[in-house]
Chain A
Amino acid sequence: MAAARLADLAVIIRSKNAGPYRLTFDVLLPDAATFKRVKASGVLGRESVAKALSLKPVEVTSLFELKSAHAFKVTIRRQVGQSDIGESDVYGCQQHVPLMELLVA
């Protein structure tokens, strides 16, 4: 199978605040087979997500898989606490784009 952009496989890719000090990313795939394929590729693992977001792996605070929802969830420390000096996205809802470009084998 040719590699595909995550954006071409997923039904939802989004970012949002999870409280003022965390930013959480949700990726929902359409079915069990695609979920399995993305899982096997490792693109939503700690190292890969940290690299896509120019972060150190330790700044990824948690990773969850929800098999029943064909979903992945990755949460990172916010670089700037919500609305502290240097804020650029109060709701944290426009930080998902680097995940769209991840290449899934």
Chain B
Amino acid sequence: MTPITVLAPTGTLGYGFGADALKRGMDFKPGVIAVDAGSTDPGPHYLGSGEVLVSRFSYKKELTELMAASRAAGIPLVVGSAGGSGSRPHVDFLVEIVREVARDLRLNRFKLAWIYADIEPARIKQAIANGEVKDFEAGFALTADLVDSSTHIVAQMGFEPIIKALQSGADVVIAGRACDDAAIAAYPIMQGGHKGLAMHMGKILECGAFSAVPFAMDVMMGFLKGDSFELEPGSVGRRASLTSVAAHTLYERENPFDQHGPGYRVDLHDCRFEQAGERRVRVSGAKFIPESECWIKLEGARQMGFRSICVAGIRCPTMIVRIDEILAAAKEEAVRYMKPHDVQVTFHVYGKDGVMRALEPQKKVASHELGLIIEVVASEMDLAHAACHHISGGLLHTHYKGQLNTSGNLAFPYSPSELDAGPAYAFSAYHLMKVRDPYETFPIHYEDV
């Protein structure tokens, strides 16, 4: 059969790709340009706050290039997990940019579709009441209170809603939160490609040229054939190798053999990789296994308070040698001082265990200086700021045994020494919810642009 060709311009929309690589990729006459735009990986802030992951400048620049290329070739453009978290404000943000780019480029009439992935709180609470919500990996139960305290809860859609939008004639699809692989695999599956292979290909392409060597945020091509697919980077400066592709199949997931989605799993136990030319790798063996029930993965975020931080350096060996006891005392004193208000104080001590904390095997400080971040989260910005300043001021002038320098213990790089970081978010849901079918919670909207 003629291969179904997919161009994945980059690993995350907004993180860039090479103009030459895009041009070269378009020479392969792909049937679709498909790109992933987000995940939970950057943390709960974007989902919680509604702020998009990358700058408006970068989104517009890249959507301009991709819309120009896809409209000139007459092929659809699919964006999954719009804006970083795929929540409603993120979808709306990209949809508005698409309209703007259409005007700027004076594009001929085309059909735009957008798909929301936000799940109504009432729908989730009903599912909780029916026993149709279960923990995925969060380690806590999803309660009605948690649902109510979440600013946004989205779920990962599968390929079905995206295919429905494409079959309705959409030329540009801006999808909310979607399984990374599904956004890329939707078009090849719609064209009759093997579902297991299409999903496996989608899983590798969703990171763009991260599966190539040297890796980068850049164009990666996928060619789906009857019983295998092939991968080749858009840039001639890169190649797909057995190691680079195999390494990527391990990336960012716990189980490299089973990939679950809403209503299916992809089985990769019998997957094979072969070098198919200097810059190309052939992959086969993935199986698509439908499941009888359809469960979607919920991702929610809630505001846990406001954060204030202070950055300081410590150079004096008399303090470094006693750092643990000095910080413990400062924290205890601040918690007492702030009563009746609760504050959560964290010290990040770089040069000691700032990166690995409890996992750090090297217990003895070997550094001649320490970098300290004092972090406070509290229910109000003023309280977080007050506690942070109280701690930094207290540490600056605290007296400890062995001290020779009585003029101050912390070297601040900034004045003011406290930086108010604003609202602090935490994940509030990472659970599975049973739905009627893969379309139920993902409404599609259309517009002629």
Query: Chain A: residues with CB nearer than 8 A to chain B?
Result: 11-12, 16-22, 24, 26, 28, 52-55, 61-62, 64, 66, 68-69, 71, 73, 75, 77, 79-86, 88-91, 94-95, 97-98, 101
Q: Which 5 A-B pairs have the closest CB atoms?
A: A69-B246, A83-B43, A21-B137, A18-B254, A75-B254
User: What are 26 A-B pairs at a CB distance below 8 A?
Assistant: A19-B254, A20-B138, A24-B250, A26-B250, A28-B243, A28-B246, A54-B359, A54-B361, A68-B246, A68-B271, A69-B247, A71-B250, A73-B250, A75-B254, A81-B138, A82-B43, A82-B44, A83-B425, A85-B304, A86-B346, A88-B348, A88-B356, A90-B42, A91-B42, A95-B356, A98-B359
Which residues of B (338-361) have their CB < 8 Å from a CB of A?
Answer: 344, 346, 348, 354-361
With A66-B256, A79-B358, A83-B43: A20-B247 Cβ-Cβ less than 8 Å: no
Query: Chain B: residues with CB nearer than 8 A to chain A?
Result: 40-45, 136-139, 242-243, 246-247, 249-257, 271-273, 304, 344, 346, 348, 354-361, 377, 425-427, 430
Which of A11, A22, A73, A80 lies in contact with B137, CB distance below 8 A? A22
Which of A11, A16, A85, A88 lies in contact with B252, CB distance below 8 A? A16
Whose C-beta in chain B lies nearest to the C-beta of A18? B254
Whose C-beta in chain A lies nearest to the C-beta of B349? A88
Inter-subunit contact A85/B359 (CB<8 Å): no
What CA separation (Å) do A7 and B138 show in the bound complex? 32
Residues of A close to B356: CB separation below 8 A: 88-89, 94-95, 97
What CA separation (Å) do A82 and B137 show in the bound complex? 12
Whose C-beta in chain A lies nearest to the C-beta of B346? A86
What CA separation (Å) do A81 and B359 show in the bound complex? 14
Closest Cβ of chain B to A3, distance in Å, is 18
Residues of A close to B43: CB separation below 8 A: 82-83, 90
Residues of B close to A79: CB separation below 8 A: 357-359
A11, A84, A91: which has the most chain B beta carbons within 10 Å? A84
Count of inter-chain pairs, beta carbons less than 8 A: 122
Inter-subunit contact A54/B358 (CB<8 Å): yes
Closest Cβ of chain B to A9, distance in Å, is 14
Inter-subunit contact B44/A98 (CB<8 Å): no
Inter-subunit contact B246/A64 (CB<8 Å): no
Inter-subunit contact A68/B273 (CB<8 Å): yes
Residues of B close to A97: CB separation below 8 A: 356
Inter-subunit contact A20/B42 (CB<8 Å): no
Inter-subunit contact A20/B40 (CB<8 Å): yes
Inter-subunit contact A82/B427 (CB<8 Å): yes
Whose C-beta in chain A lies nearest to the C-beta of B138? A21
Inter-subunit contact B361/A98 (CB<8 Å): yes
Whose C-beta in chain B lies nearest to the C-beta of A89? B355
B45, B249, B252: which has the most chain A beta carbons within 10 Å? B252
Inter-subunit contact A71/B361 (CB<8 Å): no
